[in-house]
Chains A and B, each alone.
Chain A
Amino acid sequence: GAVVSQHPSRVICKSGTSVKIECRSLDFQATTMFWYRQFPKQSLMLMATSNEGSKATYEQGVEKDKFLINHASLTLSTLTVTSAHPEDSSFYICSAGQITNEQFFGPGTRLTVL
Chain B
Amino acid sequence: DAKTTQPTSMDCAEGRAANLPCNHSTISGNEYVYWYRQIHSQGPQYIIHGLKNNETNEMASLIITEDRKSSTLILPHATLRDTAVYYCIVRVYNQGGKLIFGQGTELSVKP
Contacts and interface: CB of A to CB of B under 8 A. Distances in A.
A joins B in a complex? yes
Interface of A: 1, 4, 6, 30-32, 34, 36, 43-46, 49, 91, 93, 95, 97-99, 101-108, 110
Interface stretch (B20-28, B66-74, B75-83, B91-99): B91-99
Given A43-B104, A101-B94, A95 B42 contact: no
B89 to A, nearest CB: 10
A49 B43 contact: no
A43 B43 contact: no
A30 to B, nearest CB: 8
Interface string B38-51: 10011111100100
Contact of B96 (A4, A31, A46, A107): A31
B43 A108 contact: yes
26 contacts: A1-B46, A31-B95, A32-B96, A34-B99, A43-B87, A43-B102, A44-B101, A45-B101, A46-B98, A46-B99, A46-B100, A93-B43, A99-B95, A101-B94, A101-B95, A102-B46, A102-B49, A103-B46, A103-B96, A105-B36, A105-B43, A105-B44, A105-B45, A105-B46, A108-B41, A108-B43
User: What's the dominant secondary structure at chain B's contact region?
Assistant: loop
B103 interface: yes
B98 to A, nearest CB: 6
Given A91-B41, A95-B43, A95-B44, 14 more contacts: A30-B96, A34-B98, A36-B101, A44-B44, A46-B99, A46-B100, A93-B44, A97-B97, A98-B96, A101-B93, A103-B99, A104-B46, A105-B43, A106-B43
A45 B41 CA distance: 15
Contacts of B98: 34, 46, 49
Contacts of B102: 43
